[in-house]
Chain A
Amino acid sequence: MTIQIAILAKQVLDTEIPSDQFKINENGNNLETKGNNSPIINGFDLNATEAALKLRDDGHDVNITVIMAGDGFFLDIIKKPLSMGADNLVLLQDESLVGCGSTFTVKALSSVIDKIGPFDIILAGRHASDFDNGHVPIGIAETINLPIITYASEIKIKNNHLMIKRITLNGYQIIETSFPCIITVSNEIGEPRYPNLRGIMTATKKNPKIFSFRDLGLDEQKEDLIQLERIFIPENNLNTEFITGEDESEIGRNLAIRLKEEGLI
């Protein structure tokens, strides 16, 4: 039996670029970059892709479908999971999905899953590095009534059961669950693999299946109950006091003296 895996992924701005390279967009509902920086697929979502591919490496027969909701997709960028080895790419495309509240995102993604599922495992990154929420997969789990396991660093399938190593604040847990379930994946699962040439060629030939709200019977988005009012970049009023000295030994000494003066040590 083929194990059907869905991966929930998001196109985001690259947060590795320096913070002074961000500005507020025209609509005031998101950030954009000042230069010509391409977006990326949220890093944790690539970790989720890697988790799915590791199950295939383990010899399981898996079919991997990447699901993305948003707008303004960069096709060559969002195909990365395909070039890594995922089988299908499904897009829910609508302008109103950019910067919308998570209640609506949960509803939209749950509808896509309902339309193209069922899936045995739904994977997602632990959070998206734009709005840093991490509650959309949990919201979907509660909406479609599946168990949710967060922050996985290892996933194994044994006799139709899932054994998941789950990162906790001070260590880890081993969790056993069964299909179907939703798992969020943490970076500890390991670096996403680099696409090889064959993967890239295969991905080039594949086209995403695109859904609109109408295809899913979703209403046009009604206003979010909780509305984003404004985005602002906080001013930095901190005057850093630089500790100096002839050489590093003197700098270290001056630092110790200064911290002592301030009563900090």
Chain B
Amino acid sequence: MIKTLLLSEITDEKISQNTYELINIANEISDEVSLVILNFSDCKTLSKDFDKLYVDFIYVLTVPPLNTDKGIYNIDTFVISKFIESKNYDLILLSKTEYGSIVGPRVAFGNKKEYLSDCVAINLRENGFSITRPIYGGVANADYKIPPGISPIISFRPGLSLSSSDIKHPIIEEITFEYSCQQHVKMINEFNSMDENKIKLEDAKIIVSGGRGIGGELEFKELNKLVNLLGGALGASRAACDAGWVDHSYQIGLTGKTVSPDLYISVGISGASQHLAGCSMSRNIVAINNDKNANIFNVARFGVVGDWKSIVKSLISTIEDLNIR
């Protein structure tokens, strides 16, 4: 009997898409799936989603309102650690998001558990499990053997699975924790550079992404015309962000966001493995680049070789024509 615990994430007061993906992954290899939800903001609307979650148990963990330093996920780390102390799971899974990349190893190393990050596959073995994770930015994959009885914490790359629409009525339990922490880590201020009104990169069905080949800040704005026309989101490679042409929050790749849109149009991006790690889960990749040997063509369904400016200009005018007709 395989018992799996999932650590959920909440974005915009909703259970995140990544969490639904984890539920699917877990159900394929487990007999019993439990989900932990940390509800610090006392969100009342969350519970209406609970019946949509295909899990056996839901544990809603809360802490009384605090005036103490919340640090960088200090409370999350504390509460999850306390929770797992008294339980016994074969696997503990979470998403490899910014949150998961910090909370996962903190909980694991703080509780002397094994940790594996950024997995793309997990299989049940006669004795334990095996997982696959990309290394060297996706140049190669590594398989790891997990023996039974060690209860590892594993993060999964977002975008691996679709969410399920099956219904199962989970048993819900609320648990309150008293939080205490001696570490001095205080968030003084927080700034969001993404426009709240725009489609989020993580949610976009279409992404148009620019790289070093775009050439400058002004040129980057031209990509926005295509973005707006397609109702998508703008992305960028690390090179374009490092050059200061766009804010780093647009960055897609190992050091940025992981996306999996239906259509990913890459413009002037060479396709360094660090970038592909963030976009290779896209269902259809179009690569526009003037170098026919560029690495990006290895992952592209459609390849276009030539000067991006003229191509994008003509692409825009043709789409406008097609839309009118």
Tell me the minimal C-beta distance from A58 to chain B in angstroms. 19
- On chain B, the residues within 8 Å of A250 by CB distance are 314
- On chain A, the residues within 8 Å of B167 by CB distance are none
Alpha-carbon gap, A138 to B117, bound state (A): 13
The answer to whether B315 and A173 have CB atoms under 8 Å apart is no
Asked if A171 is an interface residue, CB under 8 A from chain B, the answer is: yes
Asked if A59 is an interface residue, CB under 8 A from chain B, the answer is: no
Main secondary structure of the interface of A (DSSP, over half): mixed
At the interface with chain B, which of A113-121, A175-183, A207-215?
A175-183
Alpha-carbon gap, A53 to B1, bound state (A): 54
For A40-75 the 0/1 string (1 means CB < 8 A from B) is 000000000000000000000000000000000000
- On chain B, the residues within 8 Å of A131 by CB distance are 135-136, 142
A-B contact count (CB 8 A): 250
Q: Which of A103, A188, A251, A258 contacts B248 (CB 8 A)?
A: A188
The answer to whether A135 and B105 have CB atoms under 8 Å apart is yes
Q: Which of B184, B190, B299 contacts A173 (CB 8 A)?
A: B190
Q: What are the 4 closest A-B residue pairs judged by CB atoms, nearest first?
A: A252-B314, A135-B105, A248-B310, A256-B318
Alpha-carbon gap, A167 to B249, bound state (A): 9
Decide: A174 near B147, CB < 8 A? Known: A15-B137, A226-B116: no
Decide: A139 near B115, CB < 8 A? Known: A134-B101, A255-B311, A265-B206: yes
The answer to whether A232 and B136 have CB atoms under 8 Å apart is no
Q: Which of A101, A142, A150, A240 contacts B303 (CB 8 A)?
A: A240
Decide: A133 near B319, CB < 8 A? Known: A225-B147, A255-B286: no
Asked if A217 is an interface residue, CB under 8 A from chain B, the answer is: no
Alpha-carbon gap, A247 to B134, bound state (A): 39
The answer to whether B187 and A175 have CB atoms under 8 Å apart is yes
The answer to whether B135 and A231 have CB atoms under 8 Å apart is yes
The answer to whether B303 and A248 have CB atoms under 8 Å apart is no
B residues contacting the other copy or chain, number (CB 8 A): 85
At the interface with chain A, which of B14-22, B44-52, B87-95, B191-199?
B191-199
Q: Which of A103, A181, A232, A241 contacts B302 (CB 8 A)?
A: A241
The answer to whether A139 and B114 have CB atoms under 8 Å apart is no
Alpha-carbon gap, A166 to B72, bound state (A): 10
The answer to whether A132 and B118 have CB atoms under 8 Å apart is yes
Tell me the minimal C-beta distance from B262 to chain A in angstroms. 7
Chain B CB within 10 A, most for which of A19, A173, A178, A181: A19
For A222-265 the 0/1 string (1 means CB < 8 A from B) is 00011111111110101011110001111111011111101011
Please give me the residue from chain B that is nearest to A177 by CB atom: B185
